[in-house]
Amino acid sequence: MSATSALPATPGAAAAPAASGGACTSGPGAGSAVPAMPGSVRTPGAAAVSATSGRAHTPRSGPGAAPRAVDPVRTPGAAAVSATSGRARTPRPGPGTAPRAVDPARALDAAAPATSAHPRTSPPGGRSVAPAAPATPRPMYTDFDRCVRAVRSRDARFDGWFFTAVLTTRIYCRPSCPAVPPKDRNMSFYPSAAAAQQAGFRACKRCRPDASPGSPQWNERADLVARAMRLIGDGTVDREGVPGLAARLGYSTRQIERQLRAELGAGPLALARAQRARTARLLIETSDLPMADAAFAAGFSSIRAFNETVREVFALTPTELRARAAHGRAPAAPGVLTLRLPFRAPLCPDNLFGHLAATAVPGVEEWRDGAYRRTLRLPYGHGAVALAPRPDHIACRLALTDQRDLAGAISRCRSLLDLDADPEAVDELLGTDERLAPLVAEAPGRRVPRTVDPAEFAVRAVLGQQVSTAAARTLAARLVTAHGQPVRDPLGGTLTHLFPTAEELSGLDPAALAMPAGRRATVVRLVRALATGELDLGVGSDRAEARARLAELPGMGPWTTGIIAMRALGDPDAFVPTDLGVRRAAAARGLPSTPGALTRHATAWRPWRSYAVQYLWAADDHAVNHMPAH
């Protein structure tokens, strides 16, 4: 998950080609993995050569081993030769060494990554033990030939799946970099920008790999690594450190370090540092903040660390970065950051923005001037955002009361619009069903409209049980007026409040809710569970555990639990067979219309059943299926 996957919207800045194609405009919208340290793959019979020291070696076995970067030049049957010094050494077996880096990217012809959650076991003594990783398809960056083909075709679909390091220039790029590709023997591949940076490579100034879309794996998967990546993207390490990350996940720091290194070639501190570097670049290029303020807002603890990291990652000083970006930059309102959020093509904005606009809560959300706008509650303060679809990116305008919230705000906006999804993998699978195929072909690239605040969405889902969209908006607006925190709209609209937190709603008088007594009781129980921490719906929560807790609450039926899993927990495989719109669309297309039969049929749609719901909803003529008028 690339929390700060954004580009400054500055015409004069050196910008990379968008990691996406044109937005879908045809058809209506739809309704409401990997061993560690970086390196490339070895050819059988050849010794690996270090990309940094030039010394050849073979991997050392042992538990928790972390890999070393290796040179991709190999001759079958012969020892590898260093690209720098030519020196080689014999392999040293033994425990405690790092495994070879494995890229989480999808191979050109490989299946999508597994999405099942890992069970967690607790031995005598109570401490959680990290489970063994399940078998997953071979990560793309371990297949040298496939990576080379992706680089030579400049295929933007693979941006964020892996990173290309050039051994001669010591830079790393995204696969779609417009520069002339290097020779095969001068390329090596890494699973993350942090791993490439740790190996001593700097970001390419032309393609800006730090602004690639995030890997879709971290939203698809529900295991420890995916949960950790979502929390790191939300800024947990910067705010609470690695111990805070471990506490949220329920594992030891050592277990988290080992699994992240095994999958991404870098530990939590290195991953957080790479995110701080991206955030710093955005602040430098898109704001007029003094450099000292930008340093601390990006999460650095000192000016020195800020200067050293920016020079090391981007090969430019902070002042030089700002000077390069200033040429031709359009002036922005004071305190407003203007960014470009990349995505993988295709993206159909109809159901995405249509749903958000049709269900907008007055005072918290609105559609104005071709953009969806809403208030944001963030760890250090609050803010407001305006998001507008463009053919090759999402235009984003952010106003924050505390700039330290920038990385978290971008992460939440990307999650809201499902921008890190892999639409080709989704549509390829769903298109194999002859009943769904026409809907997929009509408007490919549908996303799941999600939320910036899972607890907020859970409350709104209960308010919306068995009532119209307009009635649900009215009920939510009354809650906001009575309990929400008033704020000023810095973007010049009609936003007036933050949606109330569970703690602010804990004193809610059920009699004030204009709904049946049973539903009032459900709202009160839900708010209490969220406020006490009995129910965790946060970005790093365990999806299976959260669903089980939701199902235990009286009044939380399968539909409500499924909708919360789909839109608040971000589960790509959540399914709501009891939904009236889904059943009506299924029957119209010759699919089973009873919940049981439809669930059995939908097994073939796994792990993308949430997206199948979007395509089925699209068959209905409802306001949520259409882009709102300006």
The identity of residue 438, as a single letter, is: P
151 phi and psi angles, rounded to 5 deg: -65, -45
- Residue 211 and residue 177 in contact, taking contact as beta carbons nearer than 8 Å: no
Q: How far apart are CA 538 and CA 529, in angstroms?
A: 13
Show the tokens assigned to 266.
Answer: 């870098």
SS3 536: coil
H or E segment and range at residue 349: helix 349-358
Q: How far apart are CA 214 and CA 6, in angstroms?
A: 10
Q: How far apart are CA 447 and CA 451, in angstroms?
A: 12
Residue 186 CA: distances (Å) to CA of 74, 82, 99, 164, 561: 11, 11, 22, 10, 51
Show the tokens assigned to 314.
Answer: 């981007």
Q: How far apart are CA 577 and CA 596, in angstroms?
A: 8
Handedness of CA 526, 595, 421, 348 (dihedral sign): negative
Is residue 173 annotated as a catalytic residue, yes or no?
Answer: yes
Residues 6+ apart with CB under 8 A from 487: 375, 382, 384, 495, 496, 497, 498
Show the tokens assigned to 320.
Answer: 């030089």
SS3 387: strand
Residue 274 CA: distances (Å) to CA of 85, 203, 503, 575: 29, 11, 34, 35
Q: How many CA atoms lie within 13 A of 585 on its CB side?
A: 24
Three-state SS across 320-351? HHHHHHHCCCCCCCCCEEEEEECCCCCEEHHH
DSSP 510: G
Show the tokens assigned to 338.
Answer: 């203007």
Catalytic residue among 173, 207, 396, 413: 173
- Residue 618 and residue 625 in contact, taking contact as beta carbons nearer than 8 Å: yes
Is residue 396 annotated as a catalytic residue, yes or no?
Answer: no
- Residue 540 and residue 240 in contact, taking contact as beta carbons nearer than 8 Å: no
Q: How far apart are CA 180 and CA 168, in angstroms?
A: 14
Among 332, 227, 234, residue whose Cα is nearest residue 286: 332
Among 619, 456, 447, residue whose Cα is nearest residue 530: 456
Catalogue the active-site residues. Answer: 173, 579
